[in-house]
Amino acid sequence: MGKYLKLSPPKRGSKITVAKNGQLQVPDDPIVPFIQGDGISPELWRPIQEVLDIAVDRCYANAKRLEWLEVFAGDRGNEVYGTNNRLPEDTIRAVQEYKVCIKGPLTPTNNAALCLDSLLREHLDLFAHVQNIRYLDGVQSALKFPHGLDIVVFREHTEDVYSDVEWKKGSPEAKQLLTILNDDLAKKLGKSVRPDSSIGIKPISATATKRLIRLALEYAIKHKRKSITFAHNGALMRHTEGFFRDWGYELTRKEFGEYTVTEQDIAEIHGGTPPRGRIIVKDRSTETLMQELLLTPEDHDVIAATNLNGHYVQAVATASVGGLGLIPNAHLGAKAAVFEATHGLLPQPEAKVDQNPTAVLLCGVMLFDHLGWKDSAELITHALIKTISDGKVTPDLARNREDVQTVSAREFCEAIVENFEEVRKSRVRQAMKRVASNMP
């Protein structure tokens, strides 16, 4: 990649690489770029980084470690590189070179074309927006029984409404397209589009659909998830969203037949009982799926969706488990992955130390999972859940709750680390019980 203008990569550490078959080759000392984010002070980032480092040390001792490389974007980009450098070339090149990045939120702009997160995703060809949405014990929820909600949503992030192909009413392009459409539709279907319409096009391709669903199926197999659901509105939009569903089934049969079974085959061939070890493949209209996530959330596991449908599903599920501050994001592509907090910024500078670090911590969990460091991912997850359920929480999680201790972000992270040992002991006890139960 050559030299950077303002970055100084660590002298220790190795690069993550991608093999010809697309598999990550992860060294024991990967260099991990991070973007602190706007409104995220060093006082918040440092304890998060410490939790991640300590989790690796507790699980792998000296065998593994992270080597951090700070890269800059947003306000920090302007500070380091000068005005109009909110997304420096150095940052893009570093994520391309080291294959991963973890980041806090960046200040949104009114100009969608200048959205830093969108520009970063476009430069890196990050086509899948992935959210792991699960209920954490102790968090207030609008649902009476939220515990069954534990889903991973794979949302296509380059097509559908996200493609931004549209023209306003009265523009030359809209008029030209309306003329073509109305001539063709009137002749073939007896339909027309009103002449005072704005026009948008929602492309859904076999290429983008299959690479997203392939990624979702690979995840489901790797993590032994129980089902995958294709979310669509194919009854109304047969040749776009309907084909999203159909291409999903086609890919499943062709590439993953030995690992999966369709809901229809379970009913017609297997007598209503799914074969042991097979992932159930099904589809739902988006409105049906959102109702089932509220009423019977345990019926769904991995979800693959077009852009707009995925946005609706993510929004409903996120609200059901307590809000954006608890949800991590991953943007995945063939050659890079960016893990970022979902929540926005706190406007009050004095409140930064009280921000909830959960979303960024869970981004670290998704990073570890991406690297194949499962032990560290599980250690942080269970220690985080224990900390919240024990009632030691940041101010946003303390609202309308009694018998809780409100703590700063650093104190929250310190409590998570303190719970590492208890979590490890509990997991050992559970493992011993499983071994004992299998003994003759």
Residues in the chain: 440
- Exposed e or buried b per residue across 313-349, where buried means at least 16 C-beta atoms within 10 angstroms of its C-beta: bbebbbebbbbbbbbbbbbbbeebbbbbbbbebbeee
pLDDT the model gives residue 420: 96
Indicate the CATH number for domain 1-129+327-440: 3.40.718.10
CATH class of 141-155+205-321: alpha beta
Boundaries of every domain in the chain: 1-129+327-440, 141-155+205-321, 160-201
Is 318:324 a contact under the CB 8 Å cutoff? yes
pLDDT the model gives residue 164: 84
Q: State residue 179 phi and psi, 5-degree precision.
A: -60, -45
Measured distance CA(284)–CA(290) in Å, rounded: 9
- 1-129+327-440 and 141-155+205-321 in the same fold: yes
* Radius of gyration for the alpha carbons in the chain, expressed in angstroms and rounded: 23
Measured distance CA(5)–CA(72) in Å, rounded: 12
pLDDT the model gives residue 432: 54
Query: What number of other Cβ atoms are within 10 A of residue 169's Cβ?
Result: 13
pLDDT the model gives residue 348: 43
Q: What is the pLDDT of residues 214-228, one digit of tens each?
A: 999 999 999 999 999
pLDDT the model gives residue 353: 60
Helix (H) or strand (E) holding 414: helix 409-418
pLDDT the model gives residue 81: 94
Measured distance CA(88)–CA(75) in Å, rounded: 11
pLDDT the model gives residue 202: 93
Q: What is the pLDDT of residues 321-348, one digit of tens each?
A: 988 788 999 999 998 999 998 655 444 4
The stretches in the chain having pLDDT less than 70 are 1-2, 39-42, 108-114, 342-353, 428-440
- DSSP state string for 200-228: EE----HHHHHHHHHHHHHHHHHTT-SEE
Measured distance CA(369)–CA(366) in Å, rounded: 5
pLDDT the model gives residue 298: 94
